[in-house]
Structure formats: C-alpha cells, structure tokens
Amino acid sequence: MLSYSVYSVSDVVGAVVVQAYRFALDPTPAQDRDLHRHAGAGRFAFNWALAAVRANLDQRAAERTYGLDGEQLTPALGWSLPALRRAWNAAKPQVAPWWAQCSKEAFNTGLDGLARALGNWSASRSGRRAGKRVGFPRFRSRRRVTPSVRFTTGTIRVEDTRHHVTLPRLGRIRTHESTRKLARRLHAGTARILSATVRHTGGRWHVSFTVEVTRTVRTPARPQATVGVDVGITNLAVLSTGQVVPNPRHLTQAQARLRAAARTLSRRQGPDRHTGPQPSRRWRQAKTRLARVHARVANLRADGLHKLTTTLAAAYGTIVVEDLNITGMIRNRRLARHIADAGWATLRRHLEYKTAWNGGQLIVADRWFASSKTCSSCGVVKPKLRLQVRTYTCEHCGLCLDRDLNAAINLKQYVARSGRETQNGRGADRETTSWWLVAVKRPPRTISVG
C-alpha cells in the first residue's frame, strides 16, 4: 500500500459540503424490537399508499372505458409526498390503529420512498429520465427489503460520551464504535446534523448521519504534480510513477467461507411463500452468519479503496483516470466477479469528491482513448493488443515496459495531448501505425520510470 502524505492545510474556511458519518450500533433487545417495528411501519405505509394509488389508477381506467372523461372521473390521487402524507393521516386511524406506537418519521420514510419511486417511473416513462427504463413500484416484502428508517425531525444527537446516540422515540442507543470524528466537529461548530438513517445490514444495525460540514481549504502535498492511474485485476492500480498497488481479491479469499455458510443455510428450514411456514431459529442464525461474511468482504474492500484514494488525493494536484465501460465489461462471465470485486467505480467516485475536498482535480480520459495500445514514448498506436500480452513492446521506437505502466504514463500525458489536434481523433499523436509498415526497426529497449 502507498505511504500516506501529509496535508497542507490553510487557515481559510472552505465551502460547505454534505457528507455522511456511519456508525455501527449495539441496541438492547427492546431497542432492536423497536427498530424493527419502525422499519415495519414504514413498509406498511409504503404498501398501503401503493395499493391506494393502484386502486385509483384502475378506477379511473375503468371509468374511461364507460365513456367518462374530465371532471366525471374519480379525482386523481396525488403522488407527491405532501399528498400521500395527507391521505395517510386521514386513513391511519382505520388502517393502522397502532400508529401511535411508532414515530411519524417511520411512516414518512415509506411514503417518501413511494413518492420517489412514482416520480422516477413517471419521468422514465415520459423520457425525462435517462438510463434504463424504470418499472412501476412493487409492494415491499419483509424478507426482500432491507429494514431502514430515516429521521429528519426530533431529537437527533451524538452524546458527549462518544459511545451513544439519541434518536426520536428510540432514545439513547449505544454505538459499537466511537463517534469522536463527528463529535469533534459538532463541538467545534463546523458541522450540523440534517438527518439520521438507521439500516439493518450485515447482521447488525447501523446509523448514518447526514451532516452539513464546513471543510477547511486543503492543498495537496504536490499541487503541480500529475499522476496517471490505470486500474486492473492483476493489480488494483498502477501509477505512472511506477508504484503498483496489488489487488487484495477479498471476495476470492472469502469464497470458502461463503460456500460453507451458504451450504449451511440451504440445509435449514427456511420460509416458504407457498405453504407459509415460518423460518426456523437456526435458519435465521445461518442467514445472519452468511450476511456477516458478505459484510466483512465489503468492509475490507471499502477500507482499501478509501486508503488508496485518500493517499492519491492528498499527494497529487491532478489525477487522471479512464472512463471505463464497466457495465459492458461485467458481461464477460469469466471476469465479471473479479471486476466487481475490484470496485473500479467506487474508486473513481471516491476520487471525485476527495480531490475536490483536497484542492486538486480529477480528469477522466475519453472512453476511446487508447491508453494501452499507445506507445508512451513515440505515440504510435498499435492496431491490436491482446489482453494476454502483459508487456508492451513498440516496434517503432523500441520501447519495452509493463503494459499497465505504459497505460498509466499515457494517462499522465493525456492532459498535454488533449490540447493538441490529432489525426485520428482518439487523443493519440498520430494515426494508428502498423508495425509491419514501419521501414526502420530498432531493437527493443527497456526504460526505467521514476
């Protein structure tokens, strides 16, 4: 792993940003039941409102078949959050007489989720939303939906003990880890809590605080330096400086434990949607063990990516990465699991906001820039370069070096090359030159990159 660089922090107060602080919780059995009750209340409100919307749409569609139109139709039920909340408040005494046992924020969480889902479906249907087509919302099942609840009002506080948080209607809950990072900013007056979201993932509850933070202006250790970062599978990243970050392959290393946990889960008596039996206690325990193995893999991956991106953003003023078509690359069934395990998209997302926080800039090279096929010395582009070829050899100038290192150097030079007009329009210095068309051939040479 790369060594950490020291920030150069000025005394000027920077911009206000919104970021999240996530902590694991250790609730008591009573608090655990209350958390599940709140999450269930949000799911109940979501399903009730969705049923009301679907019934309203079906009623209006049926009335149109009778020749009715305009004001003759049943009034449409609004899809906005305020409209759904008014409808819920009017119906909750009849449909949910137990509503007073939970915070109003629990029901608001479900209604807000439905309002967003309906808005996304409407925008996708009309063409106002880009990307993959969004389907109509479906009812939420207790077994398929991650329990969560979001609090925006009420008492949301990080206690001075730095091992407790206070949430509305749930009271004081102990945290599994220290909250000192957020507590220090709150005491200094440079942070303000906007909301708190409690979610059950990986076999335990976590609370995520959405915080408005005033960050100080930082300067990278080398503000004028530029580094190219080429990501891969064999090595997670290769820098243009010659440094190599190995790929830890956390998912591959955990395959044996995942298979054993999944095999144990399959032998337990689980839920059956057709016959209706409830899952056994041992099935629930096995499911929790499997979830914890997955959570450990995700935590190890996130820790490594955070350390790498923090180091790069703190050291270099300009970072250049590729715009990879990860969705298309994952379609390769031989490499899909390894590509997903590397977390390339997460690495780029971290660099986007960390470079902004540290006073640097992130440059994304064009997707058609041939970083691997281009010679970093003379700029000649190979017509083809198989993935199995790990050493780049230029038949024109004789350059011979590692394929990933050559790509990283080209990414570093991308900033200078993008300012000049090119003949092939792909960011290279010249058109693709086939090695068999070169009249003068030089023996391969190896260069060292500092």
**Residue 173 near residue 41 (C-beta atoms within 8 A):** no
The helix or strand, by DSSP H or E, that contains position 361, with its residue range, turns out to be: strand 361-365
Is there a domain that residue 69 lies in? yes
Question: What total number of domains does the chain contain?
Answer: 3
- 205 and 226 inside one domain: no
Is there a domain that residue 268 lies in? yes
**Residue 212 near residue 18 (C-beta atoms within 8 A):** yes
Is there a domain that residue 140 lies in? no
The pLDDT value given to residue 246: 94
Q: How far apart are CA 85 and CA 178, in angstroms?
A: 36
The pLDDT value given to residue 429: 41
> What are the tokens at 40?
């269930």
Residues catalogued as catalytic: 230, 322, 404
Residue 317 per-residue DSSP state? E
Q: Do the bridges between strand 235-239 and strand 361-365 make them parallel or antiparallel, or are there none, so unpaired?
A: unpaired
Q: In a structure prediction context, what are the per-residue pLDDT tens digits for the chain, which is 450 residues long?
A: 333 222 333 333 468 889 999 999 999 999 999 999 999 999 999 999 999 999 999 998 898 888 888 788 888 889 999 999 999 999 999 999 999 999 999 999 999 999 999 999 999 999 999 888 999 999 999 888 999 999 999 999 999 999 999 999 999 999 999 999 999 999 999 999 999 999 999 889 999 999 999 988 889 999 999 999 999 999 999 999 999 999 999 999 999 999 999 999 999 988 877 777 788 999 989 999 999 999 999 999 999 999 999 999 999 999 999 999 998 999 988 999 999 999 999 999 999 999 999 999 999 998 888 888 888 888 888 888 888 888 888 888 888 888 889 889 999 998 877 644 333 344 444 444 333 333 333 444 444 443
Angle between helices 81-95 and 29-65 (to 10 degrees): 110
The pLDDT value given to residue 428: 41
Q: Which residues of 353-392 are buried (b: 16+ CB within 10 A; e: fewer)?
A: ebbbbbbbebebbeeebbbbbbbbbebbbbeeeeeeeeeb
Residue 4 per-residue DSSP state? P
- 162 and 97 inside one domain: no
Q: How far apart are CA 343 and CA 347, in angstroms?
A: 6
- 235 and 169 inside one domain: no
The pLDDT value given to residue 418: 64
pTM: 0.81
The pLDDT value given to residue 277: 77
- 213 and 227 inside one domain: no
Query: Where a domain ends, among 176, 197, 219?
Result: 219
Is there a domain that residue 375 lies in? no
- 209 and 294 inside one domain: no
Is there a domain that residue 424 lies in? no
The helix or strand, by DSSP H or E, that contains position 185, with its residue range, turns out to be: helix 180-188
Query: Where a domain ends, among 304, 330, 365?
Result: 365
The pLDDT value given to residue 14: 63
Is there a domain that residue 253 lies in? yes
- 356 and 252 inside one domain: yes
- 353 and 230 inside one domain: yes
Range of the domain at 187: 8-26+147-219
Angle between helices 255-266 and 281-315 (to 10 degrees): 160
- 69 and 152 inside one domain: no
Query: Where a domain ends, among 169, 187, 219?
Result: 219
Is there a domain that residue 71 lies in? yes
- 199 and 266 inside one domain: no
- 254 and 313 inside one domain: yes
- 210 and 234 inside one domain: no
The pLDDT value given to residue 390: 84
Backbone angles phi, psi at 34, to 5 degrees: -65, -40
- 255 and 351 inside one domain: yes
SS3 429: coil
Is there a domain that residue 393 lies in? no
Q: How far apart are CA 62 and CA 385, in angstroms?
A: 61
Nearest CA to 254 among 290, 285, 284, 282?
Answer: 290
Is the dihedral angle over the CA atoms 85, 91, 96, 100 positive or is it negative? Answer: positive
